Amino acid sequence: MPAQRSRLLIFGLLVLLAACSSDVHQPERVYRHALDGVPTSLDPAHAADVYAGTLVLNLFDTLYRYRYLARPYELAPNLAADFPDVSEDGLVVTIRLREARFADDAAFPDGQGRLVTAHDVIYSLRRHFDPATRSQGAWLWRDRIVGLDDWGRQGADPDAPIAGLRAVDERTLRIELTRPFPQLVNTLALPLSAIVPAEAVARHGREFSVRPVGSGPFRLVSLDETRAILKPNANFDRGPLDLAAEGFDPVRHGALGLETLDGRRYPFLDRLEVHFITEPATRWNSFISGREVDNVMLPAEQAARVLVSTDPLRLQPRFEGQFHASASRETGLVFYGFNMANPEIGHHPDPERAQRNRALRCAIRDGFDWEARNQVFYQGLGEVFPGVIPPFLAEFDQEMDRRSIQHEPAAARERLEAHGWTEQSLPALVYGLESSIDRRQMFEQFRAMLGRIGYPPDRVRSAVFPSFGEYSRAIRDGQIDVFLMGWTMAYPDAQYSLQLFYGPHASPGANMFNFLDPDFDELFRQASVMPPSPERTALYRQLNRRVIDECVVIGSLSRLRVHLWHPRILMLPDREAVGGFFLRFVGVQEPEA
């Protein structure tokens, strides 16, 4: 009888599957993109990470974007017709929109997508300040646009006008700023700023985050914890691809086969699959098997087996010709931070103790071996640099003093001794980490390095957190003394990393260090309203030095992103500023007839 029952079950199963597979139509041009994390919400107001961002930029429109191939990254108009007109005093910004249409959705009358207007842009920015949105991006524009913060505080009345955010006509937007905001256009290229239609938000409610409706090049077909499937948005028309305008360089890009796409209307795909694969080794195997995904970001552990050199980028003979490859520096940085709010190691009202604490932090910094970290976890492909202005930025200083990133265990011991730190008096450190094998190994490496400057291992305790959310909470609550943090620059401007040390951003804000320094704050405020200029660069560098001198941070390192993909796919992938923007330009080689 059990056998009979199971035979019935299997039979039922087969019938079920046959029903599912009756309409199998393999689309011609498919690109299967591997992403190294899982997006949680596709509502642009929540798209603060690279994973959600990658999808949001393809489902929605932003006013600006980054040029496909140009490096360093260059802004370009996207939904905006051109760069904005900015008034003499820098306070009034006017932006014209081009014609665009939302994708068809039941939220619109007759299910037909309607034209995008300046009111949609206003709605999309405004809703960040409505508490019900649970926005993760409001802070970008906080205190920047006249009347916007007050509008949110006073109940987010949809009919109340906002002085600083007005539609001059259907296609013209006027923004009035409280003070000059040189990074405004950058923020308008972020996924967080993407344009959403009010009808769809109203109709889908909380579900909008899994039923996105926008005017981007693609629309969502399905989404689960492991992949998203997108198809082209029939209402999307941004004209043909102009390779030259995107920064095409025959020397650098000639071998990629992009020319065949030039002058054709994009997007070029019939189907875009984005697979979320968190584990590096699994991602690699999914790629190398050739069956599951078409691209991979090379896991560092594989570097030696795959690459001969990175500059110029050359693959091992057995991969040469089999894959296309590109390498670029990440637009971000990895560093260790100290919790300055802990008087045992950070700020202290007694100036003498404050000095001793500084010596302690500097000794830990000197005892940390970036070279070893780079070799073990990044196969030597990371670039270590002093402070928090990463090398991909124009403000990066080649000539900078590199002592703060050198491994000086002897100097560290001397420093400890000189300031009266003994094995008995060294404070117990809580090292926070997210629960993962990599992070745990980094902790063990850190503890062993500290051991070499005389820090007893039992006084470096780990506190493990199961998720990034819990980890951030612990940092914000001051439970952690030493934390490892990756900070991705949302736009290429050093202001974005220097704000991590700005006093008013202290916990629960982005200043996880709780670094409080009136001089720093004053200089930061000065720099924040300045347009790019040598003076501003000088200020940025001064701020950077301040952070280094105070030993608030052990850092930093920028990883090298090596992308590999099957030559059949015509593209130049990017996970950084261009991020999701490149997917609209991905083509698939037509099979030989």
Partner 1 sequence: MTRAPDLLVFSLRKLAGAMPLIVGVTLISFLLTVYFGPDPTHALLGKNPTAAEVAQLSAELGRDRSAPAQYLDYLRRLLTLDLGHSMVTGEPVRAMLARTIPVSLLLLLPGFVLGTILALVMAAVAAWYRGGWVDRMISGVSVVGMSLSFVVILIGLQAVFGVWLGWFPVRGWNVTTLPQYLHHVAVPTLAFIVASLGYNTRFFRAVLVAELNSDQVRNARAFGAGPVRLMLVHVIGNSLLPILTRTLFSVPLLVLSGSLLIESHFGIPGVGKITFDAVMSGDQPVLMAVVGLSAVLFVITVTVTDLLCRLVDPRLRQE
Partner 2 sequence: MSTVAGRRVLAQLIRRPLGLLSLGVFAAYALIAVGVWLGWWGSAWFELAGPMWAPPSPEHWLGTNRLGQDILMRAVASTATAFEIAVPVALLSTLIGALAGGAAGYFSHGWLDEFLLWLMGTLDAIPFYLLVVALAFALQGHAWTMHLAMIAVFWTTTARLVRAETQRIRELPYIDAARVSGLAPAQIIGRHILPNTMAILLVQGTLVFIAAIKVEVVLSFLGIGTQDSISWGLMIAEGAQEILIGQYWNFIAASLFLFVLVMAFNLLADQLQDVLDPRSLDARAHRHA
Binder of partner 2 out of 143, 242, 249, 279 (CB under 8 A): 279
Instruction: Give the x/- contact pattern for partner 1 in 170-209, rule: CB under 8 A.
Output: ------------------------------------xxxx
Helices 409-418 and 351-367, interaxial angle, to 10°? 160
Long-range contacts (CB closer than 8 Å, 24 or more residues apart) made by 373-379: 373/442, 373/445, 373/557, 374/557, 376/441, 376/445, 377/300, 377/438, 377/441, 377/442, 378/300, 378/557, 378/559, 378/560, 379/300, 379/301, 379/303, 379/304
Which is nearer to partner 2, 210 or 463 (by Cβ)?
463
What does the alpha-carbon distance between residue 345 and residue 358 come to, in Å, rounded to a whole number? 7
Burial class (CB in 10 A: 0-12, 13-18, 19+), 96: middle
DSSP state of 499: G
* Phi (first) and psi of residue 517, to 5 degrees: -150, 105
H helix or E strand, kind and range, residue 201: helix 198-204
What does the alpha-carbon distance between residue 234 and residue 190 come to, in Å, rounded to a whole number? 23
Q: Which span sits near partner 1 by CB under 8 A: 240-248, 259-267, 279-287, 407-415?
A: 279-287
Q: Which does 203 bind (CB under 5 to 8 A by kind): partner 2, partner 1, none?
A: none
Which is nearer to partner 1, 310 or 499 (by Cβ)?
499
**Is 46 a binder of partner 1 (CB under 8 A)?**
yes
What does the alpha-carbon distance between residue 83 and residue 87 come to, in Å, rounded to a whole number? 13
Name which of residues 351 to 370 contact partner 1 (CB under 8 A). none
Binder of partner 1 out of 67, 139, 178, 479 (CB under 8 A): 139
Name which of residues 212 to 271 contact partner 1 (CB under 8 A). 224-227
Q: Which span sits near partner 1 by CB under 8 A: 134-142, 168-176, 315-323, 580-588?
A: 134-142
Which is nearer to partner 1, 22 or 424 (by Cβ)?
22
**Is 371 a binder of partner 2 (CB under 8 A)?**
no
**Is 448 a binder of partner 2 (CB under 8 A)?**
yes
**Is 472 a binder of partner 2 (CB under 8 A)?**
no
- Its sign, for the CA torsion 87, 496, 388, 37, is negative
Instruction: Give the x/- contact pattern for partner 1 in 477-506, rule: CB under 8 A.
Output: ----------------------x-----x-
Angle (nearest 5°) at CA 410 between 409 and 412:
65
Strands 271-276 and 227-232: antiparallel
Three-state DSSP at 285 gives helix
What does the alpha-carbon distance between residue 540 and residue 546 come to, in Å, rounded to a whole number? 10
What does the alpha-carbon distance between residue 586 and residue 269 come to, in Å, rounded to a whole number? 7
* Binding residues for partner 1, total number by CB under 8 A: 58
Closest contact distance (angstroms) between CB of 457 and partner 2 is: 7
Three-state DSSP at 587 gives strand
Binder of partner 2 out of 7, 265, 305, 403 (CB under 8 A): 305
What does the alpha-carbon distance between residue 564 and residue 71 come to, in Å, rounded to a whole number? 19
Binder of partner 2 out of 112, 154, 226, 436 (CB under 8 A): 436
Q: Which does 445 bind (CB under 5 to 8 A by kind): partner 1, partner 2, none?
A: partner 2
**Is 284 a binder of partner 2 (CB under 8 A)?**
yes
**Is 444 a binder of partner 2 (CB under 8 A)?**
yes
**Is 456 a binder of partner 2 (CB under 8 A)?**
no
Closest contact distance (angstroms) between CB of 306 and partner 1 is: 16
Q: Which parts of this chain interact with partner 1 (CB under 8 A)?
A: 1-3, 6, 9-10, 13-14, 17-18, 20-21, 24, 40-41, 43, 46, 48, 131-132, 134-139, 206-210, 224-227, 275-278, 282, 285-286, 289, 291-292, 466-470, 472-473, 476, 499, 505, 508-510
